[in-house]
Structure 1
């Protein structure tokens, strides 16, 4: 029997609330389920597939686990991320009536592009295969648990059906016995009625004969 090939995992990224979120999943649908999204974020342009090697490496190390980082930052994705620092600073600072002068923001330095060598691509492929294998193993575990639960439910149904069949058989047996006894009593009652009728007929004949004898004796 041919082995079922495991689906290759991909890394998907989105921004929800105060966090950027990323997850390694076999499909966009699986990623939306992991994020708990109620709408298609990909169609809305809020989510996308990413090939960033740092993000891919982080998600592939924990397939199916949603990783986060403060929104707008370029830090690493982790399972437990803190709130954005600018949000925390805004909460701590008192609000001023006068609006401070805006300062020109310096453009962030672009990170140098990483040159993918044959060795790094091989390592990435190995990591991707290991992550896909881990995801497939977790799916197999869930499937095995589901089959065990279904087998337990089937066993319970069989036990209940057997008990019901035994109770119905006992009821049918008792019903037949009751009917047999009722028929026997009815037969005995019919025989008694016949004997009683024969006795009445005999008595009528005897009574009439004796009454004639009494009448003749009085004459």
Structure 2
């Protein structure tokens, strides 16, 4: 069963924000608030009929209007133009809210808004699931590429180690041959020098 929606309001930056959600937590999440604005007195449940009517037409969507104005809430609002007129935002708000008259609550509209909200939440959840699946697929593709590159590097390292070992064995063999040649030459040189001395008669 669809949960009953309530309209919540706050002010962030240059805008007043309003949204129809089933809970304060959902409103805070939609606003992207990192603290509890309700406990701080910076947000409240709205009782303004025009605001409630606007949010119920687009449940779950953050609506905006220039901060301190008493204009209508929309998805896209321009920046405020009257911030320097000397009146406080609270004064403008209280004046605007007193001028409005209450309307009878339309139960059917409330039910429809709650159903619309649930549908929108499901749509967003599906969209998030699709995005997460796409991100997971991209992570897996990257991991496969990393694994392939790592395997190629490991194979090349093994081949290098094998070749280097073969070269090292050749170097050691050449060093042995060189040492044997030096030993043979020392012996040969000693023999020939001895023969040269004998020939000189020394």
Q: TM-score range by the shorter chain?
A: 0.5 to 0.7
Structure 1 residue ranges (4+ consecutive) displaced by more than 6 angstroms after TM superposition: 5-8, 16-19
Alpha-carbon distance, 1:173 to partner: 1.3
The answer as to 2:188 corresponding to 1:187 is: no
The answer as to 2:39 corresponding to 1:43 is: yes
Alpha-carbon distance, 1:159 to partner: 0.6
Aligned to 1:63, the other structure's residue is in SS state coil
Q: State the number of aligned residues.
A: 189
Match of 1:32 among 28, 32, 35: 28
Match of 2:121 among 126, 131, 135: 135
Alpha-carbon spacing, 1:194–1:80, altered in 2? closer, same or farther (3 Å): closer
Question: Which residue pairs with 1:175 in the alignment?
Answer: 161
Question: Is the 1:8–1:132 contact (alpha carbons within 8 Å) kept by the matching residues of 2?
Answer: no
Question: Is the 1:11–1:50 contact (alpha carbons within 8 Å) kept by the matching residues of 2?
Answer: yes
Match of 1:11 among 7, 15, 24: 7
Alpha-carbon distance, 1:22 to partner: 1.7
- Correspondences of 1:110-129 after superposition (within 5 Å): 110-111=101-102, 114=104, 121-129=107-115
Alpha-carbon distance, 1:190 to partner: 0.5
- Deviation readout 1:100-151 (Å, 9 max, x if unpaired): xxxxxxx85844x52x6xxx53553233122211122123213321331243
Given the two structures, how large is their TM-score scaled by the length of structure 2?
0.64
Structure 1 unaligned spans of 5+? 92-106
Match of 2:131 among 125, 145, 153: 145
Match of 2:183 among 194, 197, 202: 197
RMSD over equivalenced CA pairs, Å: 4.4
Alpha-carbon distance, 1:45 to partner: 3.2
Aligned to 1:12, the other structure's residue is in SS state strand
The answer as to 2:1 corresponding to 1:23 is: no
Given the two structures, how large is their TM-score scaled by the length of structure 1?
0.60
Structure 2 unaligned spans of 5+? 87-97
Alpha-carbon distance, 1:206 to partner: 6.9
Alpha-carbon spacing, 1:201–1:41, altered in 2? closer, same or farther (3 Å): closer
Match of 2:143 among 134, 137, 157: 157
Alpha-carbon distance, 1:67 to partner: 2.4
Larger radius of gyration: 1
Question: Is the 1:6–1:133 contact (alpha carbons within 8 Å) kept by the matching residues of 2?
Answer: no
Question: Is the 2:4–2:110 contact (alpha carbons within 8 Å) kept by the matching residues of 1?
Answer: no
